[in-house]
């Protein structure tokens, strides 16, 4: 996964109880500075750990298990991550940022609200699918995260829902959407990709692109956008 949302990471709230602690997604292991090689190793640790957390759960996934799966020693993992919680939060943070900034648009973007809304829904769903299984972890084990992580994620979520509701209201005023309550609708459509962890498998019946297309159609209909609207006309 790429370092999506780095600016959001840089300004997110720190872990509770740490003095001048890094934001969620940052590592505090013994690594002195990052290089292309160390970044690659860190990404490999995160990819393997994400799969193990998904398959076995947080409690049953130990640093020893992660190291064994990687074919390395535990100190190798601790060089990049201070502890298991930091690793879990680092894995989760990147998809969290990408998903919860899906409704961020340039203020100068002249497109009408319904087109932005359709694009934002597609971006949300595509990010969830692309970051499987890491994106499923906040839905599966929300109790694991530290107070600082939860605060930072809540700030992103509040912004996401506010922007989604605003686009919904504008689309309705423009005669392009039909729904009852904007906040309830925003919460409902944002929850559509939230159930992917229960049934989606990348090697399943439908490939990632087909899943994104199907769920986007469902989300577009859920907010009452006119039939046939697709986020294909988005500005490049």
* pLDDT for residue 228 is more than 90: no
pLDDT above 50 for 154: yes
- At 166, the pLDDT band (50, 70, 90 cuts) reads very high
Q: Residue 102's closest CA among 199, 229, 8? A: 8
Tokens 């298990």: give the residue: 65
Q: What is the pTM of this model?
A: 0.81
Of 11-20, 153-162, 193-202, the one with minimum mean pLDDT is 11-20
Is the model more confident about 78 or about 204? Answer: 78
Q: Kindly state the tokens that stand for 189.
A: 């459509």
* Model pLDDT for residues 27-45, shown as the tens digit of each residue: 555 554 555 567 899 999 9
CB 205 within 8 A of CB 180: no
Cβ atoms < 10 Å from Cβ of 4: 18
Full set of structural domains in the chain with CATH: 22-91 (1.10.10.60), 92-233 (1.10.357.10)
SS3 content of the chain, % helix, strand, coil (to 5): 65, 0, 35
The beta-strand segments (E) located in 101-233 are: none
pLDDT at 92 exceeding the cut of 50: yes
> Hey, what long-range contacts does 68-75 have (CB within 8 A, 24 or more apart)?
70/44, 70/45
Question: Is 60 exceeded by the pLDDT of residue 214?
Answer: yes
The confidence band for 199, taking pLDDT boundaries of 50, 70 and 90, is confident
């Amino acid at each position: 996964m790429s370092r999506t949302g780095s600016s959001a990471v840089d300004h997110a709230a720190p872990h509770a109880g740490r003095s001048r602690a890094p934001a969620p997604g940052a590592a505090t292991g013994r690594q002195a500075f990052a290089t292309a090689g160390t970044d690659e190793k860190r990404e490999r640790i995160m990819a393997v750990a994400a799969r193990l957390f998904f398959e076995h759960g947080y409690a049953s996934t130990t640093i020893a298990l992660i190291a064994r799966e990687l074919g390395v020693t535990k100190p190798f993992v601790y060089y990049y991550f201070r502890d298991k919680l930091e690793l879990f939060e680092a894995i989760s943070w990147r998809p969290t940022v990408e998903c919860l900034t899906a409704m961020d648009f340039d203020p100068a973007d002249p497109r009408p609200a319904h087109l932005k809304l359709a694009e934002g829904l597609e971006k949300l769903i595509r990010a969830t699918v692309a970051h499987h299984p890491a994106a499923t972890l906040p839905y599966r084990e929300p109790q694991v995260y530290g107070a600082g992580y939860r605060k930072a994620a809540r700030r992103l979520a509040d912004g996401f829902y506010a922007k989604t509701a605003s686009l919904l209201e504008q689309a309705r005023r423009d005669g392009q959407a039909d729904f009852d309550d904007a906040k309830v609708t925003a919460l409902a459509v944002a929850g559509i990709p939230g159930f992917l962890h229960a049934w989606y498998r990348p090697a399943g019946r439908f490939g990632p692109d087909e899943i994104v297309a199907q769920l986007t159609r469902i989300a577009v209909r859920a907010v009452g956008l006119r039939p046939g609207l697709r986020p294909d006309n988005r500005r490049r």
